Every structure is written in C-alpha cells, then in structure tokens.
Amino acid sequence: MNIKKAASALNQNYKKIKAALSGADMTFAAVEKNLGRAQFLLKLAENKTATGTPRGLFTAGTMRISPGQVVIVEGDMKNGYEIVARFDKLCDVQKLVKANLMPASILAAASSVGGIETIQEEDDFFEQTETVADETEAMGGKAARQKYESASAAKALATRLGMSDDEVDVDAI
C-alpha cells in the first residue's frame, strides 16, 4: 500500500463528506453493482441509474468501493460520473436524510443491496476489542501486520494533513 496515496484518499474523502454535512450542493448515489474494470452501477435520485468510476486515488488498496455503499458523485449523465467520496458512517447518511440534503431513496437503495449493514454506527465506530497482535494473528500473520502498519501510517499522515484522530477511519483503507 502506498501510504501517501492512502492518506490523500482519506483526506479528500473527509473534505467532501464535511462539505456535504455543512449543506453544500452534492449529488449522492448508492452503489448497486460492481461492473468490473473500476466501473460501478449507481442508483441516483428519482430511480435513475448510471455508471461511475472511482476517483484515481480510490483504489482497492486505498479506498475500496463496494455494492451497498452511499457515495458522493460528480459529473452528469452525458459524460459519466466520478465517485469522489464514500460514506463509512450510517449516522452521517441519516443526518443528510433528516436535513433533506439527500433523498431517502438513496439510503433505501443502498440498504436494499445489503451492504449498508457494514457501515458502523458512530457509538462503537472506534472501539478496539482486540489487540493488534490478536488481530494480525487472526488475519494471517506477517501480511496482516504489514497492512495494519501501513494503515496506521496513513492515519498518522492524514492526521498531520489536518484531520482529527477521531475523523480518520483506519478500517476504511
């Protein structure tokens, strides 16, 4: 994993989500299906569907996009959409729906795909029940330890870029 790219992806994701929560005009979508070759089938408002590609920094190693997630997209139907942010917290999505900044149909589409259950609630988001050693043993030894260390380094770099510690999600990498 490239630590600088992972930290940059986290930082860009955080900035877009923060802007959306503050009321900026954004286009939201639910990821319905992975079409392969970095193409995703997106469900937009008013039951429209389109294809979208993740921003260049959002790779499988830095910011994995999967079906059932709620994302922020830029672009249009003619030129296509680019996924510029991914929501990791269900509470953020619910705040947007309650404030009428995001249509409730997007949340319904994401939950119908089934991936919305993987988004964690805010209360237990950063709880660590296992130690690092136990986690790496369960995941597979040396490779898991290296992944954890890379994610921790990316978190430290993202923190230096201006994000607070509790805004950085190491598991999102």
Please indicate, yes or no, whether the overall pTM of this predicted structure exceeds 0.85: no
- Where would I find the H helices in the chain? 3-21, 90-98, 104-113, 132-139, 142-160
Contact indicator for 30, 70 with CB cutoff of 8 Å: yes
Q: What does the alpha-carbon distance between residue 43 and residue 28 come to, in Å, rounded to a whole number?
A: 9
66-84 pLDDT tens trace: 899 999 999 998 888 999 9
Whole-number pLDDT of residue 62: 84
Start-to-end Cα distance in the chain: 9
Q: Give me the mean pLDDT over the 49-60 stretch.
A: 90
Domain boundaries 1-173, corresponding CATH code: 2.40.50.140
Between 21 and 151, the more confident residue is 21
Q: Is the Cβ–Cβ distance between 168 and 126 less than 8 Å?
A: no
pLDDT at residue 25 in the model: 93
* Closest residue by Cα to residue 28 from 40, 44, 15: 44
- The domain ranges of the chain are 1-173
Which residue type, as a one-letter code, is found at position 81?
A: Y
Q: Give Dmax (Cα) for the chain.
A: 50
Q: Which pLDDT band, with edges at 50, 70 and 90, does 173 fall under?
A: low
Position with higher pLDDT, 97 vs 119: 97
CA-closest candidate to residue 119, choices 169, 44, 58: 169
What does the pLDDT look like over 4-46, one tens digit per residue? 888 888 999 999 999 999 999 999 999 999 998 889 999 999 8
**108: nearest Cα among 43, 156, 162:** 43
